[in-house]
Amino acid sequence: MLTELCQELRNWFEREKYFGTFTIEDGQIDVPDGSLQSGQYFRIVGSVFNDGVHQYDTDDLHDEVFVGAVWSMAIPPVVVDLSERISEWVTKYGDSVSSPYSSESFGGYSYQKASVGQGNANSINPTWQSVFANELNRWRKI
């Protein structure tokens, strides 16, 4: 969710950008010594399998060699927490709000799906972006 959140915010919280050929082997990426600290978030750009935000010293990457960039990031803990809350919301409401049907009528019976979460009161199917808009705006770059 951090990749989608940073993309929505247009804010990658980047610190340093490293360009070149990178090797990912056994789920670990080779980066210049000292450029990433354990637990730090980083972004991969230009990879076939691993583009996006990852946390250093985890082995969740797919092995490959790619020419691209690795950006070290300094994502504030409050943004990481926001990402986790958004993930929980999407898990809970994602299927129902992504449905193309907001009402149904048959045999004299009808109903309309209520708005979910804290989204726009006029929205039948709110998105995580609308539900968390106030919190997102604080970190959004124009």
List pLDDT tens digits, range 21-47.
999 999 999 998 889 999 999 999 999
- In the chain, the N- to C-terminal Cα span, in Å, equals 20
**Rounded Cα–Cα distance for residues 44 and 136 (Å):** 23
**Rounded Cα–Cα distance for residues 118 and 130 (Å):** 8
pLDDT of amino acid 21: 96
Residue 63's closest CA among 22, 20, 24?
24
**Rounded Cα–Cα distance for residues 119 and 125 (Å):** 9
Q: CA 13, 3, 88 angle in degrees (round to 5)?
A: 115
**Residue 128 — pLDDT band, cuts 50, 70, 90?**
very high
Number of neighbours of residue 128 by Cβ within 10 angstroms: 22
Query: Residue 17: pLDDT above 50?
Result: yes
pLDDT in tens, 47-96: 999 999 999 998 899 999 999 999 999 999 999 999 999 999 999 987 66
Q: Which residue has the higher pLDDT, 121 or 131?
A: 131
**Residue 112 — pLDDT band, cuts 50, 70, 90?**
low
Domain assignments of the chain as residue spans, ordered by start: 2-73, 83-137
**Residue 114 — pLDDT band, cuts 50, 70, 90?**
low
**Rounded Cα–Cα distance for residues 65 and 47 (Å):** 8
Phi and psi torsions of 86, nearest 5°: -65, -45
Query: Residue 119: pLDDT above 50?
Result: no
pLDDT of amino acid 33: 86
